[in-house]
Structure 1
């Protein structure tokens, strides 16, 4: 039992970094770690984000989760509100975009532990994000969790 009441809506918050290059706008996405996503590409990429409880603001959670997932402090800069989306699993995700550059090689991902293989009794540790890449909004749209594609649209509208 997790201690959470049944039917409680889960909320996540995250930061979508973007940068402008000679080839145009790029966004930084992370590939979800763990065995469920190991062989998937489409729908397995996400804005660095994580869950939070009602006693924490979405903004504070987004900055905290960025640090936890990437092992680097959230960058400072003007935050562009990207609003909320509801994912297929019912989770509500709130995101902001910040213009910043970051070397994916500098990432030290946070980890999570789960039983794997299922019903084996063995617990294994996996990275929250197993890789992080800069990509064009078009490539990102083909790979990101489908509901989060709305964040890409909102960022593109803002950046024009």
Structure 2
């Protein structure tokens, strides 16, 4: 599969951000494992933002007035047209850093988790209903462990 990631850096402090090669690797593994379609190519935008932009988007699209770790905006193909676009991921640098610290995870492991989690949302996975949450979290865990990261969920979460 050929993958095109449009990486947008919209954060004032670009230190400790994941490398584009890592982002592409984490997104690709999620697409390959999470899609029931054998794709020749896939395209998505990953926008890394600060708290203010995350909070505004979370408020506008989810009615929650606080920044969040990842927002997923799936692309809907027009009827009769097939495009390789998956959609957009917006990930908040400060929230990812704070959560990694609070959860005693490496920053890289949490970035990988957020990119896999968001990509799975673009593919139609969700975690509102318990059965769907179990399916999504099981796949996330499998992929992260395959990548050499610890399992992302524990009993405290």
Q: What TM bracket, shorter-length normalisation?
A: under 0.3
RCO comparison, higher one (Cα < 8 Å, 6+): 1
Mark the structure with the bigger radius of gyration: 1
- When you count helix as a share of all residues, which structure comes out higher? 2
Higher strand share: 1
